[in-house]
Amino acid sequence: MRLVGLAVVLVLSVTVAPLAAEAQPTPAGLAMLLTGPPATATPEYAAFMKQLADLGWIDGQNLAVDRRWADAPEKFIGLAADAVRAKPTVICGM
């Protein structure tokens, strides 16, 4: 009887272990609300992304950055609402 139990455990571990190894963790989500045109790269934004990278948060690896731009303050309400609906881990405004 113990041999059957051992066999079941071995079969399960052999079949489930590869599935667990292939599963990738979901990257953390960061929604960024930015001002100005999308092509604008500000020194503050570059410094923020560099600091995240220095802390081990790499966009495209363990971090998914969703950038949203507005050229007028009144457009931020819609951007913020869209960001909240996307359910990121963090919402940041610059």
Q: Please check whether residue 86 lies inside any domain of the structure.
A: yes
Compute mean pLDDT per 10 residues along the chain, 94 residues long, and list them: 43 47 72 78 83 92 90 85 92 84
Task: With respect to residue 17, please indicate whether it lies within any of the assigned structural domains.
Answer: no
The per-residue pLDDT for range 19-37, each reduced to its tens digit, is 454 556 778 899 988 887 7
In a domain, 20, yes or no: no
What residues make up the domain containing 42? Answer: 25-93
pLDDT of residue 89: 92
Residues 6 or more apart from 63 whose CB is under 8 A from it? 27, 28, 29, 30, 52, 57
Between CA 79 and CA 56 the distance in angstroms is 27
Sorted by sequence, the CB contacts under 8 Å of residue 13 that are 6+ apart come out as: none
Structural domains counted in the chain:
1
Asked if residue 70 is part of any domain, the answer here is yes
Residue 40 lies in a domain: yes
Residue 46 domain-assigned? yes
